[in-house]
Structure 1
Amino acid sequence: MKIKAQISMVMNLDKCIGCHTCSITCKNTWTNREGAEYMYFNNVETKPGIGYPKHWEDQNRWKGGWVLKNGKLELATGSKGNRLMKLFFHPEQPELKDYFEPWTYDYETLIHSKRKNNQPVARPRSLITKEKMEIEWGPNWEDDLAGGSTARADVNLQNIGQNIALDFHDIFMKYLPRLCNHCLNPACVAACPSGAIYKRDEDGVVLISQDVCRGWRHCVPACPYKKIYYNWQTNKAEKCVFCYPRLENGLPQICADTCVGRMRYVGVLLYDLDKVADIAATENSQDIYGNMLDVILDPHDPDIVKMAREQGIPENWLKAAKESPVYRLIKEWQIALPLHAEYRTVPMVWYVPPMSPILHKQASSVHFPEAEAMRIPVAYLAQLLSAGNEVVIRRVLDTLLDLRRYMQQRTRGEATTEFDEKYGPHALYDMYRLLGVAKYKDRFRIPAGMNASQEEKRLHQGVGGFSDCAFGGCSGSAGASGCSGGGCHE
């Protein structure tokens, strides 16, 4: 067993109000410069919809993530030979029109316009070509279903295989904040021909070395979440860095810190690195979520703690793992789910499914309906968060409904014996405290810094950050690539 620590994030979608504060603060912090105008390391999408970039979930088109071929894990973009043939031209490469053409407005016209009979207008001007343009798409074009018919083009609706009503009375929507998932089996790492992308040993953050990157752009289509971007000014790839300078000082990511809805939780997970390859290669994609729970280790287990100490996990990280809110949401209560686990990247950003109002067909007297009576279809949530496994979604929604029933009875002074027997004493109340009224220190448990031995080891090994392949098989320059089962460069 090889124990590693991973900084992870959980988002409670029930509390997201779609204000885009996280997107704006992230944009102002990381991508407010030339060449990065179209980049949003963090964005908030309205679902159903085609998203940003357009149709990012359609892996038949983009060939992102991993696939099983003859029982072995392989990048969906093809074998090493196929990827070599695409080195100078990649047909699955997204274009600028798939994101949006960034623009500003010709404010000089308003300032310097001479006296006219008509009011001068500041027309949009491209930030790329500097020419006048017509605005046809944007990063949040579908906000609150403003995209209209594009909602019906959502690939998740097409994959359900049943008629989901999108009429006025039955229309549904939800917000989906997205950022890099800092996966345990990142496809971008394995796809990089230069070995510029690596996963940090100390906290699991996936980064791109700007010195090593040669702008081959194979990482862009390889990422199934399309969270790697190409900077047209520097000819380098860029991505969400999980605000690692803040993490090293014990502070949460800027998107989490400024979240108006307080729906983000950040903490430490301990996991068994030796099992990651087997999880990613799970034959039935609907079983990947359950196997992901198995790879997450119990920080309260004395044997796990002893082994983690022997393998160099610092004491402050072990303490943070024991107090981690994400561990409780993911492993202990099992109400947080990974986004599109079927991509086999083993993502480490998780989501608590949203509750929703009941359909108009249901009686108005029903205060606590079953999951099937909710406006957001179970089948749709399953496509997003459980690889199509509706049983998992129903279980999570039933738990959240039991939480509401429990708090209603507790508030009224009624007995809650049935819930205590089902979930354990005070379990639902602890869940309510964390999901509903948790303070800053309860939502973020992040250890500050590394110990001296880790820092010395990291500086000694150079740009790669750590010398081990994610599955222990790299040699030579492979340490800098952080290959995840197929991206070694000997």
Structure 2
Amino acid sequence: MRVMAQLAMVMNLDKCIGCHTCSVTCKQTWTNRDGVEYAWFNNVETKPGQGYPRRYEDQERWRGGWELRRGKLVPAAGGRLRRLANLFANPEMPALEDYYEPWTYDYRTLTDAPLGDDTPVARPVSAITGEPTSVRWGPNWEDSLGGAPEHARADPMVQRLGQEIRLEFEQSFMFYLPRICEHCLNPSCVASCPSGAMYKRSEDGIVLVDQDRCRGWRMCVSGCPYKKVYFNHRTGKAEKCTFCYPRLEVGLPTVCAETCVGRLRYIGVLLYDADRVGEAASEPDEQRLYQAQLGVFLDPHDPEVVRAAERAGVPHDWITAAQRSPVHSLITRYRVALPLHPEYRTMPMVWYIPPLSPVVDALAGTGFDGEEAGNLFGAIDALRIPLDYLAGMFTAGDPEPVRLALRRLAAMRSHMRAVNLGETPDPAASTGVGMDVGSLEAMYRLLAVAKYEDRYVIPTAAVGQAHDLEGIATTCSVGDEPAPGGRTDLFVWRDGERPAGMFPTLREKGKP
């Protein structure tokens, strides 16, 4: 057993209101500069929808993540020779139109227009070329179902359902999905990087890009199945979500979590057995990958695990934080948080509590008590948000873990409603989902009324050595892929030179 610590995040989708505050504050902090106008390290998608970049979940098209071939994990994008062949013309890398061409408005037309009979109009202008453009797509074109009737049927998850979804206004369903880099245990972006610039910090598991070593090959962009690595076409470097590591190193949460209006994000430490990661990611049955990843996590209260962590050099503050971690409670104790697309085999470390909200109003509209446990349990499979759709996102199609999570959330609602009204809680609400009353109430305190220090349990043991953390990398290779610790540049060029920009259509136009 080789114990390592990982900072992780859980988001409660039942509380996301789609205000995009997290996206805006992240944008202002990390990507408010030339070259990454199109990049959103944090974005909030409306589901059903194609997402950002468009249809990123279609791995048959983009070939990100890992595949299991003859019992061995290999990058879905292919081996070294195939990646070398795609180096200068990679058909599996999103183009600008798959993201969107960022724009602003010609406000000078409004401020400097002479007096006249006509009202001046500020036309959209490309933020990249500076030329007039037509707005055809955005980072969330289906926001609040705005474009759903036309575009939602192209959602890869909807197409996998094999059935027509209901998009009429009175029958439609939707929920918001905030997304950041998953900071995976088995990141395919790290294994795809030919220059070793992508690395995973051994202290906290955060995946970063060494800007000095990055050569702009963009293999990390195509290798990431979540498409959360971006290419800066001004600097010729890859950039991505940093999990706000400068803030975490001093005990502060990420900017997206700090500014979240719905208080739906939780940050904490998970202890895991690094020796099990490769085996878990190689689970042949995709629908068992969720359970396999759960088997990688360790119980921080187990004395044997604590001793092993101390022998491995995990600081005492990190072990204590893991014992208090809200992320550990939601993922492994209560089993209400689920990973996003475990079938990519990257072992993601940003997990989600599936949405339950519409069921109460739907039940109340039929004349039944929408908060009664028996009614709630019976309505789980009849949610407006199809259970199979959620299972396709969070458990590779297995509906049982999603059903259990939703039933536990429903049981918590029913129990706490009885408590708040002074009624005698129905014991079947807790026993029916394999929990006791104490666990239901503890889960309620965490999900509904948790204070700041309970939602963000971030150790600060590394503050004294924060300046050293950027240079610390850990090997992350599976199978015959090289570890990113050594320099494996395929080509080298002089300082100041870089490969062609990410968007050849713009370059061909001769735009600056």
Length-normalised TM-score, structure 1: 0.93
- 1:439-460 deviation digits (Å, cap 9, x = unpaired): 10110000014277x779x57x
Aligned to 1:487: none
Matching residue of 1:413: 423
The percent of aligned pairs where both chains have the same amino acid is 53
* 67-76 vs 403-412, which moves further: 403-412
Distance 1:336 1:157 in 2: 22
5+ residue gaps, structure 2, are: 489-512
Check conservation: 1:410, 1:416, Cα contact below 8 A.
no
Displacement of 1:468 in angstroms is 3.8
Change (3 A) 1:234 1:388: same
Q: Is the 8 A contact 2:65 2:188 kept in 1?
A: yes
Q: Is the 8 A contact 2:214 2:237 kept in 1?
A: yes
> What letter is aligned with 2:321?
A
Contact 1:65-1:344 within 8 A present in 2 as well: yes
* More divergent stretch after superposition (306-315 vs 401-410): 401-410
Alignment of 1:375-414 (within 5 A): 375-411=384-420, 412-414=422-424
* 2:367 match: 364
Aligned partner of 1:479 among 455, 478, 485:
485
CA deviation string 1:183-206 (max 9, x = no partner): 000010000011100000100000
Q: Could you tell me which residue of structure 1 aligns to residue 382 of structure 2?
A: 373
**1:248-263 paired onto structure 2 within 5 Å:** 248-263=249-264
What's 1:209 paired with? 210
Q: What's the CA shift for 1:366?
A: 4.6
2:501 alignment counterpart: none
Check the 8 A contact 1:341/1:386 in 2, yes or no.
yes
Residue identity matched to 1:52: Y
CA separation in 2, counterparts of 1:86 and 1:37? 25
Query: What is the aligned partner in structure 1 of residue 77 from structure 2?
Result: 77
Corresponding residue for residue 4 of structure 1: 4
Q: What does residue range 64-463 of structure 1 map to in structure 2 within 5 Å?
A: 64-148=64-148, 149-358=150-359, 363-367=366-370, 368-369=375-376, 370-411=379-420, 412-419=422-429, 421=431, 422-450=434-462, 463=471
* Maintained 8 Å contact 1:196/1:480: no
For 2:44, what is the secondary structure of its paired residue?
strand
Structure 1, unmatched stretches of 5+, are: 483-490
Q: Is the 8 A contact 1:22 1:256 kept in 2?
A: yes
The residue identity in structure 2 corresponding to 1:371 is I
How far apart are 1:168 and its partner, in Å?
2.8
CA RMSD of aligned residues (A): 2.1
Q: Which amino acid aligns with 1:414?
A: T
- Whole-angstrom CA distance in 1 between matches of 2:104 and 2:362: 43
Alpha carbons of structure 1 residues 480 and 449: separation in structure 2 relative to 1, 3 Å:
farther
Match of 1:485 in 2: none
Alignment of 1:20-31 (within 5 A): 20-31=20-31
Partner deviation per Cα, 1:145-182 (whole Å, 9 max, x = no partner):
11131111111011112333333332100000000000
* Contact 1:337-1:386 within 8 A present in 2 as well: yes
Q: Secondary structure at the match of 1:267?
A: strand
Within 2, Cα distance between the matches of 1:301 and 1:9?
Answer: 22
Q: In 2 relative to 1, CA 128–156 (structure 1 residues): closer, same or farther, beyond 3 Å?
A: same
Shift of residue 478 of structure 1?
Answer: 3.9
**In 2, distance between residues paired with 1:419 and 1:374?**
19
- Cα deviation 1:315-343 (Å, max 9, x = unaligned): 11011000000000000011000000001
The 2-side partners of 1:34 and 1:387 are apart by: 38
**8 A Cα contact 2:57 2:225, kept in partner:** yes
CA drift of 1:425 comes to 4.1
8 Å contact kept, 2:73–2:478 = no
Structure 1 position 480, deviation (Å): 5.3
The aligned counterpart of 1:47 is: 47
Give the drift of 1:470.
5.3
Q: 1:2 to 1:91 in 2, by over 3 A?
A: same
